[in-house]
Structure 1
Amino acid sequence: MKITIPNNFFYQFIFFLCIAIPYLDHFELTISTWTIGVLVTITKSYSTSILKITIPFFIVFFIALFVMFFHDYEKYYIIRDVTYLFKPIIGFFIGYQICKRTLQNGFKLLINTGFIIAIIHISVVLFAVVVYGIRTVNDIREYGGYFSDYEVYILAILIFHKKFQLNYTKKQIQLLIAIIGFSVFLYLARTNFLQLLILVVAMKGYFKITKQSILVFTSIILLSIIGYSTVLYINPKRNGEGIEAFLYKIKVAPSETFKTKIKRDDYKDFNDHYRAYENIMTVRQVSKGGIVDVIFGKGLGSRIDLRQKVYLGDMELRFISILHNGFMIVFLKSGLLGLLIFFYTIYFFFKKRKSNNELIKNINLLFIGTGVFLILSNWVFLGFYNLIDTKTILVGFLICYREKIIE
């Protein structure tokens, strides 16, 4: 059997590293890898589309940078904010630049990367089950990871493989869907399940108002109500194991980020609604600074006082500079002005590139699903600013791919 190495193997390898490294949940390593990746793949020209999606992030950053000079913050938190606010920009350019160099086998690179990551994830979970005897939902997620937006995108692309003109046999498609789908399931992430649903609905074209789309959304709403009512009837316990732990997360999901009154001295209430508590503290403390802070934010290096120490990961903190909510972190750093500009980064995905090319039309549909999902992702998981988010690379890649087809 003859093994051939493609001419653009180096760039494919860089792409895989930039997608895979964030799963290690080591921010310094991710930023270092991404910085090297964006520097070694620089191209001579860039399209207006990649600039349109990155410029709002630049503006949000520069507003926060300008405001910073009116405060005296610790250098560590300033540098940390710089890396977080620049991470999406770097990701977009990595995807865009690598696509330019791997255009002839672009979708194959996307699929292969997702497949390898899925194999690694499944292997890690199975190893933990056999060696460490893990059984609970929390243990599976602790060892295997908490979510994987990239794999969900690849799964959606595979489900609609005909629309993306993938050159795979039926058996290959079935195998890829089975393996990547199983990997996605093992994350047991509510957000990922909703993400897949949103992308499927988008690819079906149901976000365009028609009789069929109204029927579909009505059915989804009714099924959601019935499903949630069933969960409430079962009444899963907070400290349950296995499927009960997952059902409990579904039970508290509606109030997890939206509750407005939280008892800090009630551990159960505080822990279950911690994301909502962050939002409350952010709005209160930014507003306390007056109209200037509300409009322009508190700048790079600003932090929120949680009023008590909490365990976040392996750290016990009272003051935090990075929040769980993407909208709130923009509001904290650059105020309402930055937030208004930031909304364009969602609106961007609803702007279609007109074309008669079916592949471009379907990439547009995937982008519409991305725009809808970003509303949820920003509210729950920091959106593009998330530590292990790799959607920016995929988006940058598809922006370039779409434009090269138009050319």
Structure 2
Amino acid sequence: MALVIKKATLYQLLFGLCVYVPYFDNYELTFAVWIFATILTLSNTYSLGILKQVFSFALILTIATIVFFFKDYQLYFIIRDITYLCKPILGLLIGYQLCKKFPHKVFQTLVHTAFFIAVMHLLFLLRAFVFFKVGTINDIRFFGGYFSDFEVYGLITIVFHQKFELNFPKKKTIIYTSVIALSAFLYLARTNFIQFVILFLALKGYFEINKKSVTVVLSFLIIGGISYAGIWYLNPKRNGDGLEALLYKIKIAPIEPFKTKINRDDWKDFNDNYRSYENIMTVRQVSREGWSSVIFGQGIGSKVDLKQEVWLGDMNLRFISILHNGFMTIFLKAGLLGLFIYLITIYLLFQKTKTIDPLVSNINLLFLGTGVFLIFSNWVFMGVYNLSDNKSILIGLIICFREIYIKQNVKNQHLTTS
């Protein structure tokens, strides 16, 4: 028994490593660790549920690869695109395979991992405050990181701890909730705030259409609209400090990814709406190549010509192979066909497993919220294709847990009635 527990603990630590390694912002390291974990935990059997997801992402990669044979791209970008398009496949497999190693500690492991990430984040921020005297939102995000979707999942899980049968002591629940909430807030990421609200509403059952849910969602939209109007009236400045900088980002958020006309000669308009600029240039470039390019994309190794050099990360680039928008990235690589398949992967999360068990019902709601959030996340942050993202591991983990839990319940019912 001791050996089994020790093995399970080692796999839990491996799960934590796979989740945490993207925070180092080194994709080569992330890919190496994920490949290692995938091979180490290979399973003998896979369910139809996980195979649907994996096959969909593999099909997108296949389409982009086939198109590549009719193109002439640089080897470096070809290899890079292959690894990028493989990322959600690896994540799904890692989560699914590792779940089988500790099936009775899935949500506990999720929360413990989120707590560890939160503690590390707060320590990095403490160091930045002490040694670098950070005082602006941009500095806080530069030293601490720009987002952390996993911590929000950890927070939402412990907030709804009864729904997920965590059974943590009250004191531990309070400490974990406080630490993870503080850390998640200090990313000051608009997407994480929206993510929490979406998952919260989903787990409350407000995305299921009925009179109460419509009333609640409309109330949130009205409050959000009034709040946004207030921010617009305050007219926060672009280069403001502290709260003003955050309010400015909120002010431009509804417009930033959706503008269809951008003045490249106006640096403020260009910088504030850069995501839209990427989308515009991608659509123009793909459309110029004709109907086959629109349907099947331009393949792995393809790049978008921005028509001018742009400071991205730590270098000036004119040609980019990966965009901020996940939908547009897939459109570039695999066309409308690939985009349709990508939307299927999100649709699969909306499909409920019929049950009267409360835990399974709550997992269904968690997947519903995840699907809704992924629509938004893909538009501004590349979704599961983001190089720092680990949601695919979480999705694979919970798909497997739901299947194991249902099978165990069926088995127990059979033993009870026999």
1:103 matched residue in structure 2: 103
**Amino acid across the alignment from 1:279:** N
**Amino acid across the alignment from 2:265:** D
CA contact (8 A) 2:107 2:157 kept: no
Gaps of 5+ in 1: none
SS at match of 1:265: coil
2:67 matched residue in structure 1: 67
SS at match of 1:7: helix
Q: How many equivalent residue pairs?
A: 404
CA distance in 2, matches of 1:7, 1:383: 32
1:255 matched residue in structure 2: 255
CA distance in 1, matches of 2:212, 2:128: 45
Alpha-carbon shift at residue 214 of structure 1 (Å): 1.2
TM-score, normalised via structure 2 length: 0.95
Deviates more, 1:201-210 or 1:106-115: 106-115
**Amino acid across the alignment from 1:239:** N
**What RMSD, in angstroms, separates the aligned Cα atoms of the two structures?**
1.0
1:265 matched residue in structure 2: 265
Give per-residue Cα distances to partners, 1:74-133, cap 9 Å, x unaligned.
000001100110000000000000000011222221111111110000110011011110
2:119 matched residue in structure 1: 119
SS at match of 1:227: helix
**Amino acid across the alignment from 1:169:** P
Give per-residue Cα distances to partners, 1:260-313, cap 9 Å, x unaligned.
100011110000000000000000000000011001100000000000000111
CA distance in 2, matches of 1:316, 1:36: 33
CA distance in 1, matches of 2:164, 2:14: 24
2:182 matched residue in structure 1: 182
1:160 matched residue in structure 2: 160
CA distance in 2, matches of 1:70, 1:22: 33
2:414 matched residue in structure 1: none
Alpha-carbon shift at residue 5 of structure 1 (Å): 6.8
2:362 matched residue in structure 1: 362
Q: After TM superposition, what 4+ stretches of structure 1 lie above 4 angstroms from structure 2? A: none
Note the 1:336-355 alignment, pairs <5 A.
336-355=336-355
2:223 matched residue in structure 1: 223
**Amino acid across the alignment from 2:209:** I
TM-score, normalised via structure 1 length: 0.98
Alpha-carbon shift at residue 357 of structure 1 (Å): 1.6
Alpha-carbon shift at residue 360 of structure 1 (Å): 0.8
1:278 matched residue in structure 2: 278
CA distance in 2, matches of 1:285, 1:49: 36
1:212 matched residue in structure 2: 212
Alpha-carbon shift at residue 242 of structure 1 (Å): 0.6
SS at match of 2:318: strand
**Amino acid across the alignment from 2:205:** G
Note the 1:6-405 alignment, pairs <5 A.
6-405=6-405
SS at match of 2:308: strand
CA distance in 2, matches of 1:301, 1:341: 20
Percent same amino acid at aligned positions? Answer: 55
Alpha-carbon shift at residue 340 of structure 1 (Å): 1.0
SS at match of 1:256: coil
CA distance in 1, matches of 2:65, 2:15: 30
CA contact (8 A) 2:264 2:270 kept: yes
CA distance in 2, matches of 1:167, 1:160: 11
Gaps of 5+ in 2: 408-418
CA distance in 2, matches of 1:180, 1:316: 35
Give per-residue Cα distances to partners, 1:119-168, cap 9 Å, x unaligned.
00011001101111001000000000000000001101111110101111
2:411 matched residue in structure 1: none
CA distance in 2, matches of 1:51, 1:334: 20
CA distance in 1, matches of 2:352, 2:403: 12
CA contact (8 A) 2:298 2:332 kept: yes
SS at match of 1:254: coil
